[in-house]
Amino acid sequence: MSSPSILTPKNIFLFIPNLIGYARVILAAGSLAVMKHHPKICTWLYAVSCLLDAFDGAAARKFNQATRFGAILDMVTDRCTTSCLIIFLSLAYPSWIIAFQFLISLDLASHYMHMYAMLNGGESSHKKVGKDKGWILNLYYTNTRVLFFVCAANELFFVALYLFSFEPKTPPYLGYWGKIPLSYATFLGVFSFPTWLLKQIINVIQMIHAAYTLAELDIEERNKKNIESAKSK
C-alpha cells in the first residue's frame, strides 16, 4: 500500500490555477507600464489578464486544485488592476476624481467586508453564497456565466473610458445625438454601462449583507459570553 503524498507550500504555489494567476499579474503589470502612451497595447494586455480570470477557476475545478491562496490571489489581482485603471481615469478626467475615488472605495470595502464575513461565518470560500443572502448575490456568485458577464462588462466600461481619453478633440459625431463622438470607445461604453451600473448596485448590496452578517456574528458571540457568564455566577 503506497503512502499518501505530502504536500508543501511550494506545491500549492505551483498549482495550475495559481500559475494562471501569476500570468494575470504579469500581464496586468505590463498593461500598467504602457498605459500612459500605448492604449492599444495596454488594452490587449489588460483584456487578456481579465479573460484569464475565467480560466483559473475552471482549472481549479477540473484539477481539484482550489486553494485559499488561489482565491486570495484572484481577488487581490482583480481589485488591484481595476483600482490602478481607475486611478489613471481620475488623472484623465480630473473633474470626476471624487466619483472615481468613491468607486475604488466601494469596490475595495464591499469585497473585503464580504470575504471577511463569509470566512468568519464558517464558509470555505467567499463565493459560497446561499439563497439566504438574497437572490441577486446567490445568482451572481453561484452562476459562473453571470459572474463572468457582469465582471467583464464592468471592466469593459472602465476600458471604454480609458480609450475615450485618447480620442481626438474633434472626432465625427453621431448626427442626432449631439456631441457624442462616433467611435469604438463610445459604443463599448454604451454597451457595457447598464451592466457596469448593476455591478455597482451588487457591490452596495454585498456590503450591506456583509455588515448584517458581521453584526449577527457579534450578537451570537456576545450572547454566548453572557450565557457563560451567567452560568458561572
Cβ atoms within 10 Å of 74's Cβ, excluding its own: 21
User: Is residue 153 within 8 Å of 192, Cβ to Cβ?
Assistant: yes
174 pLDDT higher than 60: no
Q: List Cα–Cα distances, 198 to 1, 12, 146, 192, 193, in angstroms.
A: 55, 35, 12, 10, 9
Domain coordinates of the chain in residue numbers? 9-232
pLDDT in tens, 52-84: 988 888 898 889 898 889 888 999 999 999 999
What residues are annotated to the active site? 78
Q: What is the pLDDT of residues 92-137, one digit of tens each?
A: 999 999 999 999 999 999 999 998 888 887 765 666 777 777 788 8
Residue 171 has pLDDT above 80, yes or no: no
What is 9-232's CATH number, 1.10.10, 2.30.29, 1.20.120, 1.10.3470? 1.20.120
User: What pTM was computed for the model?
Assistant: 0.86
